Amino acid sequence: ARNFAEGTSPQIAQSFDQEAAAVLMARIAVFKAEIDDGPDVLRWLDRMLIRLCQKFADYRKDDPSSFRLAENFSIYPQFMFHLRRSQFLQVFNNSPDETAFYRHVLNREDVNNSLIMIQPTLMSYGFDSPPQPVLLDSISIKPDVILLLDTFFHILIFHGETIAQWRKAGYQDQEGYENFKELLEAPKADSEELLADRFPIPRYIVCDQHGSQARFLLSKLNPSTTHVSGSMYGTPQGQAIFTDDVSLQVFMEHLKKLAVSGSS
């Protein structure tokens, strides 16, 4: 096989497709996970990300604040962060059959669907604005909004604490609360469209904030607000997540330090 460009050619960086690259790395990681131990696969994934940043990012040596990625590389580290936390590489709480099923589907779906598996989509529904995509982050949880999570394998409707209390009180059935009833129906209609077009059919979950089923959402969110950050910095925005996992912000800080130091 021949290289299409020299190793130092700017064509390589200009031709980089971060979405396709993320899916390709996910498939290679899944293949390696069948042979190697889980921690070894994660270390390999980290090394590949650090080397890519060292080669294609702009920075001054030993100066993390100078680290910059071009636009077509900018969200690739974010994909790798969510891939590390995904059910493809984190097999705890999944049976071997479930893990094999998830990995098989990843290998047969297209780039768009595979990206949803790696980094799920999150929509927010509220009184003050039309439905809009929001960050896959704990700060997106608010008491007066409804969230719609699509992980490809799960479709989940999450009611914030205030919304859940109003729904249980039956406000949507009372005169004068038609807008609240419409708010409750909007994510249901959107989820039905997703369910109709998806195969295999995802698991459908409706849950409330602080409910047991809410764990399906919390496990996918970037834990930017945790029980530790809440005690250190006062009451955090969003819901505090009880986890020892690092947040995307901490992950990026460590990535920048390692990339500019020349470590791999």
Q: What integer pLDDT is reported at residue 231 of this predicted model?
A: 43
pTM: 0.91
Q: Tokens in use for 7?
A: 């190793």
Q: What integer pLDDT is reported at residue 233 of this predicted model?
A: 47
pLDDT per residue as tens digits for the range 106-149:
999 999 999 999 999 999 999 999 999 999 999 999 999 999 99
In the chain the domains, ranked by start, together with CATH numbers, are 1-119+247-264 (1.20.120.730), 121-219 (3.40.20.10)
pLDDT per residue as tens digits for the range 13-54:
999 999 999 999 999 999 999 999 999 999 999 999 999 999
The residue written with tokens 């029980």 in the block is: 227
Q: Is the pLDDT of residue 58 over 90?
A: yes
Residue 234: band (very low, low, confident or very high) from pLDDT cuts 50, 70, 90: very low
**What is the distance, to the nearest Å, from the Cα of residue 27 to the centroid of all Cα atoms in its chain?**
17
Residues near 221 by beta carbon (within 8 Å), at least 6 away in sequence: 136, 137, 138, 140, 141, 241
Contact in structure between 103 and 109 (CB atoms under 8 Å) = no
Q: Tokens in use for 227?
A: 């029980």
Query: Where is average pLDDT lowest: 7-21, 42-56, 64-78, 192-206?
Result: 7-21
**pLDDT above 90 coverage of the chain, percent:** 84
Q: Is the pLDDT of residue 216 over 70?
A: yes
Give the integer Cα–Cα distance in Å for 173 and 152. 32
Q: Is the pLDDT of residue 258 over 70?
A: yes
**Nearest by Cα to 79 from 24, 142, 138:** 24
pLDDT per residue as tens digits for the range 157-198:
999 999 999 999 999 999 999 999 999 999 999 999 999 999
The mean pLDDT of the chain is 92
Q: What integer pLDDT is reported at residue 229 of this predicted model?
A: 59
Q: Tokens in use for 79?
A: 């994909």
Contact in structure between 68 and 53 (CB atoms under 8 Å) = no
Mean predicted confidence (pLDDT) in 197-208: 96
Q: Is the pLDDT of residue 101 over 80?
A: yes
Q: Is the pLDDT of residue 235 over 50?
A: no
Residue 5: band (very low, low, confident or very high) from pLDDT cuts 50, 70, 90: low
